[in-house]
Amino acid sequence: MSVTASPSVLVLGVGAFTQGFLHILREGGADVRGYLTRSYGHYGPRLEAPCQSVDDLPNPCAWIREQQPDLLVPMSIEWAIKPWTEEFLALNPPLLCATGEGLRLERERDFARELCERFGIPFPRARFAPTRATAEHWVRTENRAFVIKNPLCSPTSPIHTIVCETPQDTLAWLPRMDDSEGIFLQEYLGRREAGHIALVSAGEIYPLVTNQEYKRAFNGNLGIVAGAPLGGLVERDENDRYGLVRELLEPLRPWFREVGFHGPVQVTAIRHENRWHVLEYNVRLGVTSGPMILRLLANPLATLLACARNEPLRPVWRENLRYGCNLTLAGYGYPFTQLNGPPIPVNVARPPTCDVWWNEVAAAADGTGIDATGHRLCDVAALGTTLEESIATAYANIRGIRSLGSYYRTDVGQSLWPPGAE
């Protein structure tokens, strides 16, 4: 690459995440392309960049070899379990994601538990059960509430997290679980949740934001923990105001160095008996928080490029922005994804004054607008100097978007904030 050429960036994913990254990194001077990893959520990314879809190109390796991107940003860790994974890694791609041993932090829940034990990080009582019967036996013996999880994380896992709050809840759900990969049980520790997202590069941890996700489907944190959050907040937190980095990430520094970990790390935690406990680690920027983090930075492209190369980072923050609020417009049937409606119009009443990233929508057949094609229509994301300002801007914008049967939470920011609050 000559010094004058724009760095080329390939984003792997679909929907709002992919559109947001393509848009913001293009604005930051990158030459962007998308690889659409699923058969939905193409509309938004295609507004921003030339894209290839998995439907036309099931194995992207030859294309990647041709493109020689300077940075690859994956939305999920699906790239690690594809028939083409080995071929992909052999290209030595500048991937913004831990690989090898480092990847296990997200992929294998019991490995994360063991690491926490090794470094003295609080982790809820937890166990891998090879079968439903073993799981049931353990719950009866312990007589505690256990959350039911997939032992191996992937968007295509046979199990999606069921947050059970009593031992009876756990025992009632276990018979419904597909135990072909086993079952991971983790003690239910309440609702005082928060997260932190950092970058790790050249053996150092760079704290970025403390965040909250409103994961329950309805106002008041009622209803099920939906497949993806209904809302999110981020606070610029390079000084770790809430202590999640100090307590849950810094102890891992020797391990990060040992395995050459570089890329994003996100910890989701619960406050229990006055201490943060790890629920899980992820090794990528979150679907809703990722684009907001990029917006808070004055040099997102340079920061991500250096992180993918495992070089020291110099994140520069935009002066006037500290907070972000993301709201999801859910479509007909959500969060009960078995319920499907026909493609129906999505109307945008006025030009947005913040980011609107599209998920499951498509250009209407008559060419005059957008149709809903699934359960999560768009993410509306606003940044601000204060939390109140970012929330107000996001709500002012989502109120202007309408589709029959759609809804959004109207109470984001009213609970679960500041971190540790219920």
Q: Which residues bind Mg ion (CB under 5 A)?
A: 268
Q: Which residues contact 294 (CB under 8 A, 6 or more apart)?
A: 20, 21, 24, 25, 28, 300
**Which one of 31-39, 184-192, 332-340, 371-379 is the stretch in contact with ligand ADP (CB under 6 A)?**
184-192
What are 317's two structure tokens? 């923050």
State the minimum distance, in angstroms, from the CB of residue 408 to ligand ADP: 19
Q: Which residues of 405-414 are buried (b: 16+ CB within 10 A; e: fewer)?
A: ebbbbeebbe
Per CB under 6 A, 188 contacts ligand ADP:
yes
Interface residue with ligand ADP, options 107, 215, 375, 409 (CB under 6 A): 215
Burial class (CB in 10 A: 0-12, 13-18, 19+), 381: buried
Task: Give the CA distances from residue 121 to residues 184, 238, 261, 277, in Å, rounded to whole numbers and listed in that order.
Answer: 19, 21, 18, 7
Interface residue with ligand ADP, options 41, 44, 102, 124 (CB under 6 A): 124
Which CB, 229 or 384, lies closer to Mg ion? Answer: 229
Per CB under 6 A, 169 contacts ligand ADP:
no
Partner in contact with 188, chosen from Mg ion, ligand ADP, none, beta carbon below 5 to 8 Å by kind: ligand ADP
Closest CA to 217 of 198, 207, 205, 231: 231
**Which one of 183-191, 328-336, 369-377, 407-415 is the stretch in contact with ligand ADP (CB under 6 A)?**
183-191
Which CB, 207 or 232, lies closer to Mg ion? Answer: 232
Per CB under 6 A, 313 contacts ligand ADP:
no
State the minimum distance, in angstroms, from the CB of residue 348 to Mg ion: 30
Closest CA to 173 of 217, 120, 225: 225
Closest CA to 234 of 216, 263, 208, 270: 208
State the minimum distance, in angstroms, from the CB of residue 116 to ligand ADP: 13
Binding mask 72-111 for ligand ADP (x = CB under 6 A): ----------------------------------------
Are the C-beta atoms of 268 and 289 separated by less than 8 Å? no
Sign of CA dihedral 87, 89, 90, 92: positive
CA distance 211 to 234: 4
Which CB, 200 or 279, lies closer to ligand ADP? Answer: 279
Which residues contact ligand ADP by CB under 6 A? 124, 147, 149, 153, 161, 163, 186-189, 193, 215, 225, 268, 270, 279-280
